[in-house]
Structure 1
Amino acid sequence: MGSLSLIALPPCLLAWFLMAASAVDPATDGYFIDCGSSTNTMVGEVEFAADESFPGVTPSTPRNYVRMGSNSSLQLLDYGDSLYTTARVFNTMVEYGFLLKETGRHVVRLHFFPFDSDTFDLHTAMFSVSAQDFMLFQDHRFKNGLVVKEYSVDVDSNHLALKFIPGNDSFSFISALEVFPAPKEATPEDASVVEMAPKRQTLRGLILETVLRVNMGNVSVGPGDDPLRRNWVADGEFLKHSGVLTLSRIQDVKGTPSQGIAPRSVYGTATMLDSSHDPHLHANLTWNFTVDPGFEFLIRFHFCDIVDPPPESLFFNVYVNSWYAYQNLDLGKLTSEVRGSPYYLDVIATSRGSGLLTVSVGPYADSDIYSTAFLNGLEVMKIHSVTSRLFILAGQRSKWKTVMVISSAVSILSCLVLFLAIYLFYSRRHSKHVCPGKSKGERCSFSDLKSGYRYPLMAIKEATDNFSEDLAVGGGEFGKVYKGVLRDGTRVTVKRLCQSLQREEEFRTEIEMLSHLRHRHLISLVGYCDEQHEMIIVYEFMEKGPLKNHLYGSSLPSLCWKKRLEICIGSAKGLHYLHTGSSKAIIHRDVRSENVLLDQNFMAKLADFGASRTGPEIDQSHVSTAVKGSFGYLDPEYLRSQHLTEKSDIYSFGVMMLEILAGRPVIDPSLPKDQLNLVEWAMHLKNKDQEHEVVDPRLLGQVGDQILCNYMDIASKCLAKSGINRPSMGTVLRNLELVLHLQVQEDNPVRNEEPSPQIDHKGLSATDVPSVQFSMGSIGDFNETSISKVFAKMVRREFRQI
């Protein structure tokens, strides 16, 4: 069941399916499919076509169409009960392919209703779904009730591919799906960022996932009352206040709002503060929403003046997480003085560390005129960054094609042999997972760890106040991170991983690695917990958090250049130890600014070893393994060949060096196309001798031309296309410490009696150091022997880190 095969849809079969679904015009309405059904299904005015004959799999693959068992019950939304009595199940990876008349944004709505059947229990399915090689969700289980997941996908071709990818030894399923063009006004091309006004961020090319649609007035609006079949929940459960008024005057809405924005029933209801006891009350009306922490969200506010009697003024403020989303919003002016005209406002905001998103409206405090504040509707959409792109697919396509060819050319006996070979391959792969310092073939296990590492779940809950949201400091698709205090007063960081087979492997790997590694620039393992299906890792507490937060994307003060250099060197020392500190190199595989943590003194420590692997044997040049890493940092040679060496870490470190220098994300879609990719942009400028344009504007006057040239030379060597041309981590470290030495001399010219090494545009040139003569060409040559002779003399105690 765990075997994967890529199923591409030939154009002739797609055309055949279009004729079978002739009840829907794909050019106008898109595709509406009742999965697993043998007959078409009407839901309101929309006809969902049967896909029993949809050619999504090859004839040799069993067509698993399942029907609800007699013991199951339906407790569903307004989409229609009959839509969920069947489902389609896939044991292998399959692709739904859709021909589109136009490019641009399309709504992808996936319906999942798990039930028991005679052949499958859909509650146990674990799988991932991607669109256009972007991961929509990964290793997910739909355990209870109906789940409708909706995405806005920006498609740049006339073909949309939806891939269903079963987890290990599992399967995937789908109850119904919709694909149709999104009205142009439904999603803006960009929006203002509330924490960084007046900056605007582009949304082109990004996937948006609908998290919530909320109708104010404490009235829900079902799919049957929305032209685009959207579901709007009542706002009552999210309100922070109790003293509110709810309005319902749909007849006061002027005109017909565009169906791509919101239905009349949303604009015709509202929630406002009850000011009947104090007509001059200046207070904010607030709603609290729980979302995934650390992500950006597109937030759309819907306003329509249906207040009766009309207020003296419609000046009010709009807030997200206590930041201004719009100050002194003049609704009357924005709607051309026509009362009852709909208006909407789009902003982008980041959720707090606890995963709390707070939205407020309030009177304009600087005005003496009483002004009421109200809200009619709200939409929250999670922005999936480009790091969600599926890298693995690129490396696996050749494998899947090979599997298809073999399966079509050999007999059943050969298939059995193939499955046996796969089993032996994975068994051998797992047997090669060794602990640092252990002999070849000897696996790590939790029994190898010191008894003091394992913590009871009760102690972890006590340390984090039962995983209180107030103590959450970060998170993402992997899980959540909390700060905590153990009973003995030790401050710790607690990472609570989501349940999945992939996370279980990363959990074990990280514990095995960290329990055998000790270095000043590696995060220290305090303990772990694996009770009651929990996967929890406890680390030392790092006061300043990830390096990334000090470079961009937060309100933290900017780091000075010398401090950035010291952090870069500390990270290099930790990585150098991984590559050389045990009998076999340890390859981190996910070096990036988010995985460099800073303590209270800004000392850097590498973290997150879930993807780490031991390096090749002495008689081998590389380790063959599936590609893992982060978009923008990933070694292109490793991605192409799936051959992993320490030089893949060197490439990622070079990317992080540029990130530290530039103080911007590695991939930034908000920038012009030629600046979107930091590596390509920086190397282009270096080749034109314009390195100074890469430097973070906040470092103005801190980075001298010679030091900048030297630093960029090191980074460019790390980013060489071929791993064999990249330096070792020890060489990178020594050269970075030389740069720091030069920086200290430049900052303190009076204190330093030694002559400063002369640097030209190529790198370092020969100079004299007291009592020692050394000669060094361009840093690009990385003359390790010559550097090591003078290294101890040049690096003084004030900037030695170990």
Structure 2
Amino acid sequence: MMGKLIGERLLLMVMILVTVIIIVEAQPKSFLINCGSNSSVNVDGRKWIGDMAPNNNVTLDSPGAVVSNATFSGNSIYEPLYKTARIFTASLNYTIKEVQGNYFFRFYFCPFETVDYNVNESSFGVVVNGVKLLSEFNVAGKISHKNVNLKISGKNSSSFFLIKEYILDVDDGMLVIEFVPSRNSFGFINAIEIVPVVGELFAGSISKVGGGNLNLTGHGMETMYRLNVGGPEIQSNQDPDLRRIWEMDSSYMITENAGSGMKNSSNITYASANDTSVAPLLVYETARAMSNTEVLDKRFNMSWKFEVDPDFDYVVRLHFCELMYDKSNERIFRIYINNRTAVDNLDVFVRAGGKNKAYHQDHYDSASSGMDTLWVQLGPETAAGAAGTDAILNGLEVFKLSRNGNLAHVERYDTDGNSGSKSNARVVWIGVGAGIASVAIMACIGVFIFCFFKRRKESSDTKNNSPGWRPIFLYGAAVNSTVGGAKGSAGTQKLYGSVASTRAGKRFTLAEINAATNSFDESLIIGVGGFGKVYKGEVDDGVPAAIKRANPQSEQGLVEFETEIEMLSKLRHRHLVSLIGFCEEKNEMILVYEYMANGTLRSHLFGSDLPPLTWKQRLEACIGAARGLHYLHTGADRGIIHRDVKTTNILLDENFVAKMADFGLSKDGPAFEHTHVSTAVKGSFGYLDPEYFRRQQLTEKSDVYSFGVVLFEVVCARAVINPTLPKDEINLAEWAMRWQRQRSLDKIIDPLLLGSHCPESLSKFAEIAEKCLADDGKSRPTMGEVLWHLEYVLQLHEAWLNMDNNTQVVQEHSNQDEEEVDLDLKNATD
């Protein structure tokens, strides 16, 4: 009897154990893939398996190439993942079996230099089970703009990395992730994270702004923004179930002090048991409420602005938790999405069911054609009888919805750095056409008057208009004032050039360009930039020219092309590269400049076989570039901010006269009543103004910061970002500033300068560079002040050279006199 009882108990235990095993195996698995490695690493408490490790449940159809980034440095918890990458020049597939259900897909990218590949020029696409996630994607280009999951490891960091996140439904048990390089390019990937969605993350149907509903079933989604409103950044290990990163919201607010932060971490619970996976409780412990509600205008709102991809639809998720009031009708407000009312009379206490109850709302906004910004605003409900005109928000997420199995958007950027598309340009031209049509209709109404003036107009056109073509965007009143004269004192520096009319240069035909470049002969290439390749050619009967041809795969395009023409058509200065003309034919965008025989300043500092510049030549080059920038900042009504100051954009002519070049990213300065221009971040790694990066507020002092980096580059003769160096030397600005603060910059200068420079001039030069790199833009000098000090440094060096030469002459005379005395003595002896 006892044996039978024991047997039954053993059988029951076995059945329970089998049931547990079945349940565990039925749970969706996470897949953490460390690309470019055959070993595993532990990151944030989890094991990431190398994509070439044995028995990793991942099939890789082709190995591609493996690269190592052992010098990566930063405070990211994902640092070990960024030390290896897999590079592919042909299609690369990862296949994973036994995958079923909804998953978060995260792709980790960290661009770094390798011997054989320049990742800044990579371009590729990503497709998951037929859903296109990325197309012609350039990681470095994306990082140069403000992006949702961009993580910067510290101020002036040398380590930049990007995480792209998607939510997809896998319903056939098989997962295929395909990486596809763009034509004549390549791609790379550092890590892939696939995490199952826990709980009910999204309801089947959500409300549409303006009325109606949308069923989310069948839609893929991309996480565009995820913000912890009013609180600090939440790292992925603080959201253990879904490993999400929650950014701070302050950089997205139009007016940050419109909402003040608040915190209450006691007794917060979810309003619904189904909401536990929606967001961690940390999100609901902090919030942002309206500031000074007793005195604010009733129309005042807390506002957040986001750059989005045009021609897609978006889900906006708002997280709420009433942290202060313990009864209803204390805080009632409205929610606006893209200037339309999404919710009115919202009382979080009532909706959530009490104080300290975590609650969320989803809203679907159908994008207008060409829309590239999304606004979320919270403001008082003026018609309600709430105790205060107040609003509150704890968290905010923005998700992009797929259209016909597509989430990819090939980005183009306007002069403000905002995402746009070619459709935007078409809309503009349609508007221009409609305006012209309206004028024509009005002219028809006044047909007799039109006929009367027609003959006079034709006569005037024949007399005054020179042949050629002017794009519509270049029309406008000519600027009649000129600025000329010689150098003045600091602060009253007079300019060497003049402001030209808005008329562009010559319009070249494509046949003329082909003849000038021998049909774009590769042997004539003299440079490659973000816009495209630059060829040396001859135009107009032998005039040498630099001919820049747009690359269709480039992040830069029509907007930069138009900006370059517009800027150089209204500016003329000895220290700005002159535009000869342009070509816009058969989808080509080509710019023709004066030829600069000695190339870029950088090529004479390092990385080439060109003879090194003397200290005097380097000072003169810096002074020339400073004159050009000073003219940009002061030579127009509002001034012009270059926005891409670096040594590759400072060119030297046959006499080594320095001139600023590449104005495709340039921006008009702020209007008279403003202190800055609000714009997304554009520029080059290592030269970016950290204040501009943090606040997205562009000023002339942003150029000053970049010029300060140029000064250190000139004296140290090394790249501004060099990941092959030790960790504390990777970023030139940080490294040089550490030595300069110790007043020991002379220990790290270019060895070729040793013994051939005036020590005092170097000391003053270093002080100028240090001031340019001040964290606070207001503490930096103007370009006029920088120019004055550089000219003083040159004077010190020239005085030192003259003194040294005089000493040498005196010594030579002394030696000659001694020889003559010796000769006289010899003759007397004889």
TM-score normalised according to structure 2 size: 0.45
**Of the two structures, which has the highest relative contact order with CA contacts closer than 8 Å and spacing of 6 or more?**
2
TM-score normalised according to structure 1 size: 0.47
Which is greater in Rg? 2
